[in-house]
Amino acid sequence: MSGKHLIVTLIGLPGSGKTTVGRQLARRLQVPFLDSDQILEQRLGCSIRAYFEAEGEERFRDMEEQVIEDLSQSALGVLSTGGGVVLRPENRKRLHTRTTVAYLRASPEDLYRRLRHDTQRPLLQVADPLSRLRELFELRDPLYLEAAHFVIETGRPSVVSQVNKIMMQLELDELKASPGSA
């Protein structure tokens, strides 16, 4: 793993595989797996969906920003984030400067196929989730690209092949960081 950043952060829309890929990647790298949504739920003392309903999105984003501030300073690990983490410029900057960021990129159609039965994601509890995913993609794709160091096109490949692609990219980064050691 790169000597510069010891945390690898996964970003992307809901359903892009951040948690599944993150867990496997952490296992391969033999480092802790951190899930910002899960840690956030522990701090909130309730589900994200319930918090959204009771307090609204801005309060949720404040809490999320605090969790990102704390976790991005961890010494080591793979960090999986909530899909909206890139909305705040502070989060994009912190993650980019403190960690190595991989964007798991998928089309709204692929995401819809994976998420159509989901009941937990507050932003997708609407009459037409596919249109919502298209809107989210349009708004957020440039933000994910801005925050990322590299992009993994997810399409339909297996989790193992996505983990392999990230491992290759991290090895390349390491070679670039210390060319003499190759």
* Interacting residues with ligand S3P (CB under 6 A): 14, 37, 48, 82-84, 121-123
Q: Specify the residue, 138 or 171, whose C-beta has the smaller distance to ligand S3P.
A: 138
| 48 versus 79: smaller Cβ distance to ligand S3P | 48
Closest distance between ligand S3P and the C-beta of residue 123, in Å?
5
* Minimum distance of ligand S3P from residue 177's CB (angstroms): 29
The token pair at 63 is: 């809490």
Nearer to ligand S3P, 51 or 165 (CB): 51
Write down the least CB distance from residue 150 to ligand S3P, Å: 19
Q: Count how many residues are written for the chain.
A: 182
Tokens of 44: 């909130």
Residue with smallest beta-carbon separation from ligand S3P: 82
Give, in degrees to the nearest 5, the angle at Cα 133 between 113 and 147.
110
Burial of 80 (0-12, 13-18, 19+ CB in 10 A): buried
Q: How far is the CB of 27 from ligand S3P (least distance, A)?
A: 19
Q: Which helix (H) or strand (E) holds 33?
A: strand 33-35
Query: Which of 14/129 has CB closer to ligand S3P?
Result: 14
Euclidean distance between CA atoms 30 and 24, whole angstroms:
10
